[in-house]
Amino acid sequence: MVKSLEDRLMNAAVLLILGLAGAAAVFPLMYVVSVSVTPFSEVLKNGGFILIPRSFTFSAYTQLFTESAIPRAFAVTVFITVVGTLINLVLTALMAYPLSRKGLPGRSFFLLMVVFTMLFSGGIIPTYLIVKALGLVDSVWSMILPNAVWSFNVLIMKSFYESLPEELFESARMDGAREFRILLQLVVPLSIPSMLTVGLFYMVGHWNEFFQAVMYVTDRSLFPLQVIIRELLMMTQQPLENAENMLPTETMQMASVVTASLPIILVYPFIQKHFTKGMLLGSVKG
Amino acid sequence: MERHLAGSSLPLARPRESKTRLLGRRVWSFRAFYLMLLPGVLYYLIFRYLPMYGVVIAFKDFSMLDGILGSPWADPWHKHFTAFFQSPYFSQLMVNTLLISVYKLVFGTVPPILMALLLNECRVKWFKTIVQTLTYMPHFLSWVIIYGILIAFFSQSSGLVNRWIEELGGSSIGFLTSVDYFRSILVGSEIWKDLGWGAIIYLAAMASIDPTLYEAAKVDGAGRLRMIWHITLPGIRSVIILLLILKLGHIMDAGFDQIYILYNIQVYQVADILDTWVFRTGLQQLNFSLGAAVGLFKSLIGLVLVLGSNHLSKKWGEGIW
């Protein structure tokens, strides 16, 4: 097929602009990585742009992992991510599966209960008071339990379960399986893709945990990664030019940013497809 | 209906059984499901609905010692609300919340649509996939990480942009600490973060447009731009309107995490929103009742806006639930 001039121009323009958009998404990260592995003296004298570092050093990283609160915070973050995601998944599946069974008496009541919290909440202060009354303040659980179920994810899971053919359940019941067994041995294995999607939404949420930590945690040894890194980043925002050696260098700050984003960036390409699918699933019928 | 019931042994309705007994049997046959629901329901009751009850402290003079139940009622009951409405913060917070939200709405709507159009027009498949992968990624980065990136580019002492400005003979600008630039930083960083992610839903809408429309247009001699204008854009019009309406419903949430992480005392004047103020005043300065009152005020307006916008979107035949 012969392509018209307009077609060719259009194709070229599309490729060019998309290329720029892609670059705009990665370039800032590449720059941050470059700064983090360039010796600080080099950063200062270069007067700018270091996309490909001329000399390497990992001293910022070694300093970060030996002298700062980062290792401890890293451990806290890993803990709340792993344990939190497990709790999230179990609770969400247990909640979504009954809600997907159309004959369940009271189904619309429970659904309303879930959806209403997406519309209205008691607000920051009353929630804090409840969490405090439960004795969760200053414990890792305060970063896990108050957000143990996300309504949006319940709805995603529910619409997935609804798409499973009814005959499947009937034949399982015919074979004498009880409901818990059906959920565990039939439904869960079938729903691995959407469990993965929802699980990853939860995982990213926990890894990026910040809000609950600043609300409920004052004990520094329990601060997750994001809170510690924000502290590190805030330090040069105050005009304290002459205290150079006391403050973390820009190299170190950027190393901390890379440390916190690396796990997500590494996992991300493998799961991107699932995320997209899950997002669409949720948006089609909320 | 029968085929949806859990127990396969459930008999067809016997005429002599009363309605309540029938319902009782039905409920009993679903007992395993209620057991499954239990943990989740407990979660919702404790962490979502108890705080809704706890909001009564907005009408009390709350003290930690007496607790939610024991604290005395405020006199008059609207004391904390009036205190807020009459304080100089009220107008500043409302203006900031609404302005930041509206800016995000106005400047944040078109870029993802353009992005989706470009991706849709891209004929080189592998290139499209790579660009999609790259542009979705920032969505998953935390605001702390994006704050770090912003510092690398915009900080006054060491940011790349300021070094360029200085090299060109200008004087450095405190983008992150200046009232003139802070809102632009907020809006810009949000657009950067969600450009690709926001395009997903428009792309899906474009994928569901009937391809015969394009073929017919091609036969009629329409070029690519004409097809975009007359087929693709009208095809996603309802999605665009739906998303706009939905965002309108959340106009009181200007983005707590982003603002709390990015702002500093120099820019409170333009950056402080209802949520961040409630957090500082309520939690950090222990004004629990005042904080709860402002939070309730915000939640109520939010509820009305969300319900109203859903009502609107139903009019367009696109109800959310």
Any domain includes A8: no
Q: Are residues A45 and A127 in the same domain?
A: no
Any domain includes A18: no
Query: CA of B84: how far to CAs of A104, B78, B186, B276, in Å?
Result: 46, 10, 26, 15
Chain A partners within 8 Å of B288 (Cβ): 125, 129
Report CB contact under 8 Å: B151, A253. Answer: yes
Contacts for A203 with CB less than 8 Å, ≥ 6 apart: A81, A85
Report CB contact under 8 Å: B40, A211. Answer: no
Report CB contact under 8 Å: B142, A208. Answer: yes
pLDDT, one tens digit per residue, over A78-90 is 999 999 999 999 9
pLDDT, one tens digit per residue, over A142-186 is 999 999 999 999 998 998 899 888 888 888 888 888 888 888 888
Q: Is the pLDDT confidence value at A50 over 80? A: no
| Summary mean pLDDT of chain A | 86
pLDDT, one tens digit per residue, over A207-224 is 999 999 999 999 999 999
Q: Are residues A88 and A186 in the same domain?
A: yes
Provide the pLDDT confidence category of residue A230 given band limits of 50, 70 and 90: very high
Which tokens belong to B72? 């005395």
pLDDT value at residue A240: 47
Provide the pLDDT confidence category of residue A267 given band limits of 50, 70 and 90: confident
Among the partner residues B131, B177, B291, nearest to A124 by beta-carbon distance? B291
For chain A, how big is the Rg over CA atoms in Å? 24
Among the partner residues B36, B141, B291, nearest to A264 by beta-carbon distance? B141
Question: For residues A49 and A212, which has the higher predicted lDDT (pLDDT)?
Answer: A212
Q: Is the pLDDT confidence value at A238 over 70? A: no
Range in A202-216, A253-267, B9-23 the model is least confident about? B9-23
Strands (E), B268-316: none
pLDDT value at residue A49: 62
Report CB contact under 8 Å: A129, B140. Answer: no
Report CB contact under 8 Å: B135, A133. Answer: no
Chain B partners within 8 Å of A99 (Cβ): 37
Give percent of chain B with pLDDT exceeding 70: 93
Report CB contact under 8 Å: B5, A103. Answer: yes
Q: Is the pLDDT confidence value at B309 over 90? A: no
The domain containing residue A165 runs over which residues? 68-235+257-283
Range in A214-218, A269-273, B221-225 the model is least confident about? A269-273
Mean pLDDT, residues A99-116 taken together: 93
Which tokens belong to A6? 């307009």
Chain A interface mutation, best of B37, B46, B256, highest count of A Cβ atoms under 10 Å = B37
Question: For residues A228 and B246, which has the higher predicted lDDT (pLDDT)?
Answer: A228
Any domain includes A7: no
Q: Are residues A198 and A176 in the same domain?
A: yes
Report CB contact under 8 Å: A179, B33. Answer: yes
Contacts for B160 with CB less than 8 Å, ≥ 6 apart: A31, A48, A49, B152, B153
Say if residues A213 and A230 touch (Cβ distance below 8 Å): no
Chain B partners within 8 Å of A24 (Cβ): 192
Among the partner residues B54, B128, B147, nearest to A130 by beta-carbon distance? B54
Q: Residue B53: helix, strand or coil by DSSP? A: helix
Type of residue numbered A142: S
Range in A129-133, A137-141, A195-199 the model is least confident about? A195-199
Report CB contact under 8 Å: B279, A124. Answer: yes
- The CATH number that applies at residue A79 is 1.10.3720.10
Q: Is the pLDDT confidence value at A45 over 90? A: no
Provide the pLDDT confidence category of residue B127 given band limits of 50, 70 and 90: very high
Q: Is the pLDDT confidence value at B92 over 50? A: yes
Q: Are residues A200 and A103 in the same domain?
A: yes
Q: How far is A234 from chain B (nearest CA, A)?
A: 9
Q: Are residues A82 and A211 in the same domain?
A: yes
Q: Are residues A89 and A216 in the same domain?
A: yes
pLDDT, one tens digit per residue, over A92-101 is 999 999 999 8
Mean pLDDT, residues B126-146 taken together: 94
Which tokens belong to B263? 């702002």
Report CB contact under 8 Å: B306, A10. Answer: no
- Cα nearest neighbour of A40 on chain B: B158
Q: How far is A188 from chain B (nearest CA, A)?
A: 14
Report CB contact under 8 Å: A95, B37. Answer: yes
Q: Are residues A93 and A182 in the same domain?
A: yes
Among the partner residues A105, A125, A254, nearest to B278 by beta-carbon distance? A125
Question: For residues B30 and A286, which has the higher predicted lDDT (pLDDT)?
Answer: B30
Question: For residues B195 and B68, which has the higher predicted lDDT (pLDDT)?
Answer: B195
Q: Are residues A105 and A56 in the same domain?
A: no
Chain B partners within 8 Å of A14 (Cβ): 118, 121-123
pLDDT, one tens digit per residue, over B95-108 is 999 999 999 999 99
Q: How far is B224 from chain A (nearest CA, A)?
A: 7
Q: Are residues A53 and A95 in the same domain?
A: no
Report CB contact under 8 Å: A124, B283. Answer: yes
Mean pLDDT, residues B266-285 taken together: 94
Q: Are residues A168 and A55 in the same domain?
A: no
Q: Are residues A112 and A212 in the same domain?
A: yes
Mean pLDDT, residues B174-185 taken together: 93
Domain boundary among the residues A44, A66, A88 is at: A66
Report CB contact under 8 Å: B307, A102. Answer: no
pLDDT value at residue B11: 53
Rounded Cα distance between A274 and A187, Å, is: 18
Question: For residues B60 and A52, which has the higher predicted lDDT (pLDDT)?
Answer: B60
Report CB contact under 8 Å: B204, A283. Answer: yes
Provide the pLDDT confidence category of residue A281 given band limits of 50, 70 and 90: low
Q: Is the pLDDT confidence value at A244 over 80? A: no
Chain A interface mutation, best of B1, B21, B44, highest count of A Cβ atoms under 10 Å = B44
Among the partner residues A21, A101, A268, nearest to B131 by beta-carbon distance? A21
**Which overall architecture, per CATH, does domain B99-270 show?**
Orthogonal Bundle (1.10)
Domains of chain B: which residue ranges? 99-270
Any domain includes A187: yes
Interface size between A and B, measured as CB pairs under 8 A = 304
Q: How far is B64 from chain A (nearest CA, A)?
A: 9
Mean pLDDT, residues B41-54 taken together: 96
Chain A interface mutation, best of B48, B120, B122, highest count of A Cβ atoms under 10 Å = B48
pLDDT value at residue A113: 96
pLDDT value at residue A243: 46
pLDDT value at residue B321: 41
Chain B interface mutation, best of A3, A18, A128, highest count of B Cβ atoms under 10 Å = A18
Any domain includes A72: yes
The ipTM is 0.89
Q: How far is B83 from chain A (nearest CA, A)?
A: 17
Provide the pLDDT confidence category of residue B318 given band limits of 50, 70 and 90: low
- Cα nearest neighbour of B167 on chain A: A47
Any domain includes A100: yes
Q: What backbone phi and psi angles, to 5 degrees, belong to B60?
A: -120, 170
Q: How many domains does chain A have?
A: 2
Q: Are residues A136 and A183 in the same domain?
A: yes
pLDDT value at residue B26: 87
Q: What is the 3-state secondary structure (H, E, C) of chain A?
A: CCCCHHHHHHHHHHHHHHHHHHHHHHHHHHHHHHHHHCCHHHHHHHCCCCCCCCCCCCHHHHHHHHHCCHHHHHHHHHHHHHHHHHHHHHHHHHHHHHHHCCCCCCHHHHHHHHHHHHHCCCCHHHHHHHHHHCCCCCCHHHHCHHHCCCHHHHHHHHHHHHCCCHHHHHHHHHCCCCHHHHHHHHHHHHCHHHHHHHHHHHHHHHHCCCHHHHHHCCCHHHCCHHHHHHHHHHHHHCCCHHHCCCCCCHHHHHHHHHHHHHHHHHHHHHHHHHHHHHHHHHHHCC
